[in-house]
Amino acid sequence: MNSKIGYLIAIALLLVAPLLIYPVFLMKLLCFALFASAFNLILGYGGLLSFGHAAFFGGAAYVTGHAIKVWGLPTELGILVGAGAACVLGFLIGLLAIRRQGIYFAMITLAMAQMVYFLFISADFTGGENGLQGVPRGTALGMIDLQNNLNMYYFVLAIFAIGYFIIARAVNSPFGQVLSAIRDNEARATSLGYDVDRYKLLAFVLSATLAGLAGATKTVVFQLASLTDAHWHMSGEVVLMTLLGGLGTIAGPAVGAGIIITLQNYLASGPLGAWVPVVLGVIFVICVLAFRRGVVGELRELMRKSF
Amino acid sequence: MLTDLLGFPPQVLFGQLLLGLINGAFYAVLSLGLAVIFGLLNIVNFAHGALYMLGAFATLAVTKYLGIGYWGALIVAPILVGAFGIILERTMLRRLAGVDHLYGLLLTFGLALVIEGVFVKLFGSSGLPYAAPKELQGGINLGFMFLPWYRGWVVVASIAVCLFTWYLFERTKIGAYLRAGTENPTLLQAFGVNVPLLTTLAYGYGVGLAAFAGVLAAPITQVNPLMGSNLIIVVFAVVVIGGMGSIMGAVVTGLAMGIIEGLTKVFWPEASSTVIFVVMAIVLVLRPAGLFGKTA
Amino acid sequence: MKLFKALATGVSAAAMMASAATAEISDGVVKIGLMSDMASVYSDVAGQGTVVAAQMAIDEFGGKVAGAPIEMVTADHQNKADIAANKAREWGDTGQVDAFAELVTTSVALAVFEVAKQQNKIALVSGAASSPLTNDACIPTGLHWTYNTRALAVGTGSAIVKEGGDSWYFLTADYAFGEALQRDVSAVVEAEGGKVLGAAKHPFPSSDFSSFVLQAQASGAKIIGLANAGGDTVNAIKAAHEFGVVAAGQKIAGLLVFLPNVKSIGQEVAQGLQMTVSFYWDMDDETRAWSEKFYEKTGAQPTGIQAGTYSAVLHYLKAIEATGSDDTDVVLAKMREMPVNDMFAKNGKLRTDGRMVHDMYLAEVKAPADSKDEWDLLNIVRTIPGEEAFGPLSESTCPTK
């Protein structure tokens, strides 16, 4: 009940927000909130630290940009193609990565993503260092002009809502329960007869696909895809967003993304512009040392204690 | 000659092999440091690249302010950076005992961002020059290739420090303690060995190795705040290929990967930045625990 | 005659009144949004120094133009096209920014071009080098001020071929800028009767160039052309020296080298290196005076990118002063009409494809013994006339020229 009211308030806020806040900034926030929420599926619920999610985010960004700009696909279809590409990439990298656990899993995903990054640098269709620019926003459903920032915002909000709904459903389904069981005790899950690897792979692919959805949407908003999207710093940032917001909480990653994006935006225009990586690093260190539950996790703990 | 038939004069082939060996030497020393740290702390030290960079900067600073030059820096810089590592271990990493090992990776990732960010802010990112010591400038024409003295020295010094580490771990009493600490720290503690101190020293030693590689690299690349930032990911791949189980495994894999990379640069230069990752993928399919890893 | 003069005066006065009536400063402020790489690979050749340079231009106007205050906002784009596009869009949508300035690296300039085109705002590009910015990728309001890859090719490339360096092998940064530079230089080399034997693409950025240098050595080319910039160029030059490539008779041609890079390479190694520059602090009294002021504020001598930023902003403000308007089309027309005359450029001409045509210079790094101090690094060998450096307008492939 409580969470229902929370959701209603959140929806109401999101609907009126663009009237008060710059819509492009809000769209960026939504894209990263979706990205972090998708990432949380594999780290928070699956217990697997992927350090290579930028490959899916960036891969989908490029494919969508190419599909819309060069192939001339309609915007919605372009985004779906991008997410589909992330799905395939997630399957390939996932197959390799789930062969090892824990720290090795992190290093393998990182290394594979770095390989993908190098491929993007030298591939022709990405435009290398220049990025893939001038992607037209097009129209939604063939009639709503997305060049208008407000229209674009509600389009992005709809995609975010769909993605978020899928994640929330997945987490609360039997699939999500098994995933958490694997995270907590893999051996026990195996002995209960679950095909652990298949669940992990499925979670990884789902996470990759939704991360791709976020990246694809981001391309349409900013009308470009660039190497930044695929760089390992991006992988690190999404870990930070999730960690800061709260691992394994459904709303946490979105909150974390909100904080980080706002902070980056705020710092970039101020005198501390050059210190952004340092500030992010410091937040990382503080989170790990003293704040492992994250914002939402701590709030929840506070509520639990006081009621 | 076969090499000529392939369209590559021997000069290029042998030159690239030497360069591969040198890169391999860096991979070996860095992955060795990672293996030492991982052995006792169960932490993948993401800050390794940043600490390698600190080694190069320490070389610069020591040369400038202490006036002891390259040879002095070779000893002093790893000690200074190792001491810095010990402070990190004592003040931060230690507090992660008992939580998921992944947090160690995340913490050191954050530290890497901070260290590199601060150095970029202080020194910019075009890099500062550092000349090779006079004794090692120039080179010799071996007929089939030109060997710069300094490059040769890097290979010799790296292999020497790897052998020393191997000896330290496999043939001395401290090494025996360290290995025991990897296997069963609680039991070792019960025998009256100061395991926390051992852990700290291991971290310091691993960091010192990274810094040593940094000193060796200073005259080759530039002294650049971001010099370790991409390197560390390649070293991670090397570690996955070799498995973090053994010291010799880390060294052999490092050297071998360097040579493979060097050969790729002859035959297909564009692929040289990805070849190690491809090898990693193949190894994962055929032998998930890594070439020298224990199958878990 | 007298009548004619009076008539002309009357007409122009009427025109001025008309323009004063229609044109005014939007939002009562002239706002310049300057974006640069403040902390990364290009921060010392562009970065904070461009902010100082732009501020110097604003200060020359006493902070006010056509009665309205001049403001400058700055941002660090971190060499990321998405950050740049985001910031530019925000500045234009909500921040009342009238013009974008500096924009180092091609990816950033292209991203801001997209936004500037949509919002019809002026983009004063200084740092980005790729010649496509005023060719295929041009926009009506995009002005490319300081240099481009073609000018670098014409300057350094042809000078070297003329000295007998007629066979080339390139070490090319594996991205569009490197490719543009290689393409432009190859064209010049071949036009002058030279031959291009091949190229090795290297990852961007690379720290160790030894293996690429070996490939270049194996090619047997007389000249190893470095189609890269910044740290890559520095590292490649060092590697070439270490492997005895230079001693064995091959020459290195750095195609985009900045003053701070020369310091990085070290003068001992860099001496004799030829480079094409848009500006050097020690050219005449005017440049020395300006650079001295710059040096007082930054502790370094200015690069061409920094001086070019000053010139671009100054010219933009002059056009506003002259027209009393900050309307894009009005200002742009005036900027094209007036010759660019300041300490950076003499009789520079702004073309309809966006290219600012001005003289470039071929310089050579001095031997350490000939230097008076740590910044006394270059000799200007030759002045390259603007038309020769940037080519005629008819060659431009800009569709809106």
Kindly state the DSSP code that residue B138 receives in the 8-state scheme: S
CATH 1.10.10.10 fits C27-147+283-354, yes or no: no
Residue A36 has pLDDT above 90, yes or no: yes
Contact pairs from chain A to chain B, CB under 8 Å: 116
Mean of the per-residue pLDDT values for chain C?
Answer: 89
Q: Which residues of C touch A22 (CB under 8 A)?
A: 90, 93-94
Q: Do C238 and B129 touch (CB under 8 A)?
A: yes
Mean pLDDT on C391-399? 94
CB-CB contact of A272 with A279 (8 Å): yes
- C360 or B97, greater pLDDT: C360
Strands C274-277 and C360-365: antiparallel
CB-CB contact of A54 with A232 (8 Å): yes
Residue A270 has pLDDT above 80, yes or no: no
Q: How confident is the model at residue B6 (pLDDT cuts 50, 70, 90)?
A: low
pLDDT of residue C56: 97
CA–CA gap between residue C51 and residue C31 (Å, rounded): 14
Q: How confident is the model at residue A241 (pLDDT cuts 50, 70, 90)?
A: very high
Q: No. of H helices and E strands in chain A?
A: 13, 4
pLDDT of residue A104: 86
CA–CA gap between residue B53 and residue B112 (Å, rounded): 10
How many CA within 13 A on the CB side of residue A242? 29
- Highest mean pLDDT: which of A187-201, B65-79, C305-319? C305-319
State the smallest CA–CA distance between residue A269 and chain C in angstroms: 5
Element (H, E) at A55: helix A54-69
Tokens of B260: 């493979």
H helices of chain B, in order, are: 2-5, 10-41, 48-61, 69-91, 102-123, 149-171, 173-183, 185-190, 195-217, 231-242, 247-267, 275-286
Q: How confident is the model at residue B2 (pLDDT cuts 50, 70, 90)?
A: very low
Question: Using CA of residue C386, residue C387, residue C389, residue C392, what is the dihedral sign?
Answer: positive
State the smallest CA–CA distance between residue C259 and chain A in angstroms: 23
The residue of A96, A101, A103, A231 whose CB has the most chain B CBs within 10 angstroms, and thus the best one to mutate to test that interface, is A103
- B54 or B123, greater pLDDT: B54
- B16 or B293, greater pLDDT: B16
Q: In Å, how far from its chain's centre is CA C219?
A: 32
Q: Which residues of A touch C177 (CB under 8 A)?
A: 129-130
Question: Using CA of residue B138, residue B142, residue B145, residue B150, what is the dihedral sign?
Answer: negative
Residues in B whose CB is inside 8 Å of some CB of C read 8-9, 11-12, 15-16, 19, 22-23, 117, 120-121, 124-129, 131-132, 139, 141, 146, 148, 150-151, 220-222, 224, 227, 231, 262, 265-266, 269-270, 272-273
How many CA within 13 A on the CB side of residue C186? 15
Residue among A226, A268, A274 whose CB faces C107 most closely:
A226
Q: Which of A72, B171, B15, B48 minimizes the C-alpha distance to C240? A: B15
CA–CA gap between residue A120 and residue A75 (Å, rounded): 22
Dihedrals phi, psi of C216, to nearest 5 degrees: -65, -40
> Can you give the residue ranges of every domain in chain C?
27-147+283-354, 150-277+360-387
Kindly state the DSSP code that residue B8 receives in the 8-state scheme: -
Mean pLDDT on B159-179? 89
Those chains having 3 or more beta-carbon pairs within 8 angstroms of chain A are: B, C
Q: Which residues contact C51 (CB under 8 A, 6 or more apart)?
A: C34, C36, C72, C74
Mean pLDDT on A170-195? 91
Write out pLDDT tens, residues C195-251. 999 998 887 777 778 888 888 988 889 999 999 887 788 889 888 888 888 888 888
Task: Tell whether A285 lies on the interface with B, counting CB pairs under 8 A.
Answer: yes
Write out pLDDT tens, residues A106-165. 989 999 999 999 899 878 888 877 788 889 999 988 889 998 999 999 999 999 999 999
Q: Which residues of C touch B269 (CB under 8 A)?
A: 200-202, 211-212, 215
CA angle C331, C336, C337 (to 5 degrees): 95
Mean pLDDT on A79-91? 97
Superfamily of domain C150-277+360-387: Response regulator (3.40.50.2300)
Q: Which residues of C touch A276 (CB under 8 A)?
A: 76, 78
Task: Match 């920094």 to its residue by tokens.
Answer: C306
Residue A82 has pLDDT above 70, yes or no: yes
Amino acid occupying residue A120: F
Q: Do domains C27-147+283-354 and C150-277+360-387 have the same CATH topology?
A: yes
Residue B131 has pLDDT above 50, yes or no: yes
Residue B60 has pLDDT above 70, yes or no: yes
Strands C122-125 and C142-144: parallel
CB-CB contact of C291 with C375 (8 Å): no
Q: Which residues contact A83 (CB under 8 A, 6 or more apart)?
A: A60, A209, A210, A212, A213, A216
pLDDT of residue A40: 95
Q: Do A115 and B274 touch (CB under 8 A)?
A: yes
CB-CB contact of A184 with A163 (8 Å): no
Write out pLDDT tens, residues C161-199. 988 999 999 999 877 788 889 999 999 999 999 999 999
pLDDT of residue A273: 67
Mean pLDDT on B145-172? 91
pLDDT of residue A66: 96
CA–CA gap between residue B87 and residue B198 (Å, rounded): 14
Q: Which residues of C touch A24 (CB under 8 A)?
A: 86, 89-90, 93
Residues in C whose CB is inside 8 Å of some CB of A read 38-39, 73-76, 78, 80-83, 85-87, 89-90, 93-94, 105-107, 110-111, 114, 173-177, 201, 203-204
- Residues in a beta bridge with B146: B141
- Residues in a beta bridge with C169: C198, C224
Q: Is C394 exposed, middle or buried (0-12, 13-18, 19+ CB in 10 A)?
A: exposed
- Residues in a beta bridge with C34: C74, C101
State the smallest CA–CA distance between residue C53 and chain A in angstroms: 17
- C329 or B292, greater pLDDT: C329
Contact pairs from chain B to chain C, CB under 8 Å: 103
Mean of the per-residue pLDDT values for chain B?
Answer: 87
Q: How confident is the model at residue A88 (pLDDT cuts 50, 70, 90)?
A: very high
pLDDT of residue A2: 66
Residue C291 has pLDDT above 50, yes or no: yes
Kindly state the DSSP code that residue C74 receives in the 8-state scheme: E
Tokens of A47: 């217990």
Strands C378-384 and C360-365: antiparallel
